[in-house]
Amino acid sequence: MPCQTEWVVSQQAPLFVSGQLLYRRGVADKFKLAAVVDDDPDIALAARLALREIFDRVETLDSPADLLPLLKQENPDAILLDLNFGRAKTDGREGLDHLARIIEADPDAAVVIITAHGGVSIAVEAMKAGASDFVAKPWSNERLQATVRSAASLRRSRMEARIERGRASELAQSPETPLLGKSPEMERVRMLIERAAPTDANVLILGENGTGKEIVAREIHRLSRRSDKPMVSIDLGATSETLFESELFGHVKGAFTGAAGERIGRLKAADKSTLFLDEIGNLPLHLQPKLLTALEQREVVPVGANKPAPIDVRVIAATNVPTDQLSDEKRFRQDLLFRLNTIEIELPPLRQRRDDIPLLLDHYLRLYERKYDKPERALPPVAIKALIEHDWPGNVRALRHAAERAVIMAEGDRYRVDDFPLPRRGQQQTAAVSPAVESLNLDELERQMIERALRMHHFNISLAAAELGLSRGALYRRMEKHGL
């Protein structure tokens, strides 16, 4: 018997988490796909009609053998599985065998077992084998919907947690190897990390863009007692001001226009773990008291909710805003600042630890030579000297990009200064102290103006972007383009 499909017509937009489509939102928060596996057409129809209220699409199949191809193609959000399919079969063993195959094919599968009233013991056995829950025949639609919705939500949480763990693992193995450098400045940073990490004290990381603030945050989390759970991050510099509150605190269904379903905020998602607040200096002044209250009372109230939820969160915050600006009460609440900077770690810009530049260059050149399958080339003293003397406005991030470009562009058995995207002699000084320019090359002029704006505002991205009449994102793209 071919599978039957129930389509629910809706105007719903997909929700993506790290590139994966998990569910859809419409007038009510709905999941994408449910599969009902039962050889009794009346039971299958009853389940399909009940579940179409919470799923965009419900498929019914009369044999578990038809389910495995569906698992490979679409990964249902929930599976409703009968335990008995053959004539006179009542022991549920056939269903348990199929359950094992389903869990093997998809360890995150949310399987709800269908059982008769007398089959509770076999249903419990099925849950020990990986099923999420069970429903007994005959069921009430409310009970069925609540059980299957709960199972689908559990699957979603498992997938989101796996994605977050994967992201954390990917970042841990990224080209930005943590804390390269043997200079006294970096040794002090390491000492502060080693002392702060085992505690639950909040940490504030200060430093220009590209100095490695997120790397330090992840190192603190890795060495902490919370390292068994993934660190949760939010970049407040890349978050729309209208979404700050929802992103941090979450919201309930109907809290505002477009709030079609409940959303867990980052503070609650980081419960029992670490929350990294990047670019904390961009948090609007009117939201700072609410963050302070959440940290002081260890509870969070989602937008539109009345009941607080307890949280156990360690906060690591980072900003490129200079300390004198952070000390301005009109920009940042001092009581929140005191709460965040129990321990303060300031990362030095690369120009203040030039002795580390050869070590960093060697690391990144070798890394990108392996990545692009390029031969290992020597870096002659004249090139090393030029790279050490460069001020690196974009710090380690800019150096890494410059090394990558050099690996791609270089020819012969050694690197040349021209392989690195450095300004020609005299251009850097001109850009720093004088608005006059000699070049009429538009790319060179753009680079010089960006460097001037960055220096003028002590490498604060928000202020430099405002000076140039650009958004933060547009400035980041131009910095990337010029290797800054």
The token duo for 230 is 């993934």
| pLDDT score at 174 | 45
Flag whether 145 is in a domain: yes
- Residues 405, 307, single domain; the answer is no
Query: For residue range 87-96, what is the model confidence (pLDDT) as tens digits?
Result: 656 677 777 8
User: Which of 399, 422, 445 is at the close of a domain?
Assistant: 422
Rounded Cα distance, 187 and 181, in Å: 8
Contact 224, 410 (CB under 8 A): no
Mean pLDDT of all residues in 39-48: 87
Whether residues 139 and 52 share a domain: the answer is yes
- Return the pLDDT at 193: 95
pLDDT score recorded for residue 435: 45
- Asked if residue 192 is part of any domain, the answer here is yes
The confidence score (pLDDT) of residue 292 equals: 92
Q: How many CA atoms lie within 13 A of 302 on its CB side?
A: 21
SS3 309: strand
Let me know if residue 305 belongs to a domain.
yes
196 and 156 both lie in a single domain: no
Say whether the peptide bond before residue 138 is cis (omega within 30 degrees of 0).
yes
* Residue 169 maps to a domain: no
Q: Are residues 341 and 438 in the same domain?
A: no
Cα–Cα distances in Å, from 255 out to 36, 244, 261, 381? 33, 14, 9, 62
Distance CA 182, CA 303 (A): 47
What confidence category does residue 1 fall into, taking pLDDT thresholds of 50, 70 and 90? very low
Looking at residue 126, what is its pLDDT?
A: 82
Task: Give the E-state strand segments of 238-375 in sequence order.
Answer: 250-251, 263-264, 274-278, 299-300, 309-310, 314-319, 343-346
With pLDDT > 70 as the criterion, what percentage of the chain qualifies? Answer: 81
Q: Model confidence over 423-473: pLDDT tens digits?
A: 754 444 444 444 444 456 777 788 888 888 887 776 777 777 777 877 777
Shared-domain flag, residues 106 and 63? yes
Dihedral sign (CA 474, 478, 479, 480): positive
pLDDT for the residue numbered 172: 44
231 and 261 share a domain? yes
Q: What is the pLDDT of residue 40?
A: 84
Residue 134 belongs to domain with CATH number = 3.40.50.2300
Per-residue pLDDT of 344-393, as tens digits, reads 999 999 999 999 999 999 999 999 999 899 999 999 999 999 999 999 98
For the chain, how big is the Rg over CA atoms in Å? 28
Residues 361 and 479 in one domain: no
Mean pLDDT over 71-83 rounds to 86
Task: Give the pLDDT confidence score for residue 4 in this predicted structure.
Answer: 43
- Asked whether residue 103 is assigned to any structural domain, the reply reads yes
- Where residue 66 falls among pLDDT bands split at 50, 70, 90? confident
For position 191, what pLDDT does the model report? 94
What gap in Å lies between CA 144 and CA 308, rounded to an integer? 29
Q: Are residues 118 and 244 in the same domain?
A: no
Q: Evaluate whether residue 435 is within a structural domain.
A: yes
Tell me the per-residue pLDDT of 194-214, one tens digit each, with 9 for 90 and over: 999 999 999 999 999 889 999
396 falls within a domain: yes
Number of domains the chain contains: 4
Does 81 share its domain with 188? no
- How many angstroms separate the CA atoms of 111 and 132, rounded? 5
Beta strand ranges found along 320-441 (DSSP E):
343-346
Quick one: how far is CA 433 from the chain centroid?
A: 40
Count of Cβ atoms closer than 10 Å to residue 186 Cβ: 19
- In tens, the pLDDT along 4-17 reads 433 333 333 333 33
* Same domain, residue pair 143 and 178: no
% pLDDT > 90, the chain: 30
Question: In b/e form, how buried is each residue of 55-81, taking b as 16+ CB within 10 angstroms?
Answer: bbbbbbbbebebbeebbeeebbbbbbb
Element housing 78 (H / E): strand 78-82
Tell me which of 437 and 230 has the higher pLDDT: 230
Query: CATH code at 359?
Result: 1.10.8.60
Structural domain for 118, as ranges: 4-164
Spatial separation of the C-alpha atoms in residues 294 and 303, rounded to whole Å: 13
Give dist(CA 431, CA 395) in Å, integer. 17
The residue out of 294, 321, 348 marking a domain boundary is: 348
- Same domain for 459 and 365: no
**Does 99 reside within a domain?**
yes
User: Do 111 and 61 fall within a single domain?
Assistant: yes
CB contact at 8 A, 136 and 147? no
Q: What is the dihedral of CA 112, 26, 239, 446, to 10 degrees?
A: 120
Last residue of a domain, one of 164, 191, 224: 164
pLDDT higher than threshold 60 for residue 67? yes
* 382-413 tens-digit pLDDT: 999 999 999 998 899 889 989 999 999 999 88
Consecutive H or E run containing 336:
helix 334-340
Q: What is the pLDDT of residue 20?
A: 35
CATH assignment of the domain containing 470 = 1.10.10.60
What CATH number is associated with residue 241? Answer: 3.40.50.300
| Contact (Cβ atoms closer than 8 angstroms) between residue 217 and residue 317 | no
